[in-house]
Amino acid sequence: MNSRRKFIKNVAFGTAAAAISPKLIAKSNFKPTGNFKPVVVSTWNHGLPANDVAWKIISGGGKAIDAVEKGIMIPENDPSVTSVGYGGLPDRDGNVTLDACIMDEKGNCGAVAFLQHIKNPISVARKVMDDTPHTMISGKGALDFALSKGFKKENLLTPEAKKRWEQWTKEKNYEPIINIENHDTIGMIALDKNGNLSGACTTSGLAWKMHGRVGDSPIIGAGLFVDNEVGAATATGKGEAVVKIAGTAIIVEMMRMGKSPQEACELAIKRISEKQSDYKDFQVGFLAINKKGEVGAYSIQKGFNYAMHNEDGKNMNDAPHLLQTNVRTY
Ligand code: SD4
């Protein structure tokens, strides 16, 4: 190697070494061993019945990836949950279009976006992960794929959701309201008895959205991210805001660098508030766990809650939030 190239190589190495402190390198190799404290957490009230199913699998020694898939199917199948699966509120043209993703302890992932007529998009996402070389399939391709895998084509627009859409078409006032229109996505993350982390996220997205709009929920690194060495995170709220900061990816990276799940969620919300000047007008909530089974949650506005189930039992928890008073009243 000539001396100039050698010099450049040394300078480049020196710069990289200076940029990454030994402390951070040590933290990034953080690998807790043994004695895992299994836990499952999910966004919002419908997380409780979803967690019941997931916890049964985990407490019986099952895998986190199966727990999150089966758990999340509960709100997908529930017509009273109006922002997930069957019964989800439609887009502005009256179509129910669904987004979902799933990620396992090996870093495998699968997602579907803009999927119509299939009640359990999370299971289609699982098939994308397990049976294809791809990570995301969308629209008609996702529907064709689901049908080829034996999923049933169904009408997902319930009479109640149709009524609400017809009501909306009278005014066509598209203004997502904090904690009402934005509140139903389920993100679930879990740690099983073998210390493996997995996560899943599923939604019908923002009510009355533009036809074809895809939010954060099916996007790995936005609505969901899992790294089995470190932790997992999921998001709810205005997807565009989450996508703009790669929300869950940065939370997991902050945990890798030594932040607790709570600190990491707070820093991600802070990032939104620093970069997005209209942050007071919408809601975003993050939920995270680490390999030690510690949990963190934080949102912009008041009102975000999450369900937790571990060996001590199950409960609902209100997340702390950035703004002390909601800007909107309703
Ligand atoms: C989206 N993040 O499509 C979803 C909506 C949501 O709770 O989370 N609702 O933007």
pLDDT one digit per residue (tens) for the chain, 330 residues: 444 444 344 434 344 444 444 444 444 444 555 678 999 999 999 999 999 999 999 999 999 999 999 999 999 998 888 778 888 889 999 999 999 999 999 999 999 999 999 999 999 999 999 999 999 999 999 999 999 999 999 999 999 999 999 998 887 776 666 555 545 789 999 999 999 999 999 999 988 899 999 999 999 999 999 999 999 999 999 999 999 999 999 999 999 999 999 999 999 999 999 999 999 989 999 999 999 999 999 999 999 999 999 999 999 999 999 998 655 433
Q: Which segments within the chain are labelled E, that is strand?
A: 39-43, 98-103, 109-115, 136-138, 186-191, 197-203, 224-227, 231-237, 284-290, 295-299, 305-310, 313-318
Q: Of ligand 1's atoms, which has the minimum distance to the CA of residue 184?
A: 7
Identity of residue 223: G
Mutational test site, ligand 1, from 43, 45, 76, 83, max ligand atoms within 8 Å of CB:
83
Domain boundaries, the chain: 61-318
Q: Are 85 and 98 in contact (CB under 8 A)?
A: yes
φ, ψ dihedrals at 262, nearest 5°: -65, -50
**CA 275 to centroid of ligand 1, rounded, Å:** 19
Mutational test site, ligand 1, from 42, 44, 72, 185, max ligand atoms within 8 Å of CB:
185
Mutational test site, ligand 1, from 44, 91, 236, max ligand atoms within 8 Å of CB:
236
**What are the pocket residues of ligand 1 if the criterion is a CB atom closer than 6 Å to any ligand atom?**
83, 182-185, 203, 205-206, 215-217, 236-239
**CA 60 to centroid of ligand 1, rounded, Å:** 31
| pLDDT at position 79 | 84
Is 329 annotated as catalytic? no
CATH 3.40.50.150 fits 61-318, yes or no: no
**CA 221 to centroid of ligand 1, rounded, Å:** 14
Nearest to 156 by CA among 83, 87, 211: 87
| pLDDT at position 129 | 98
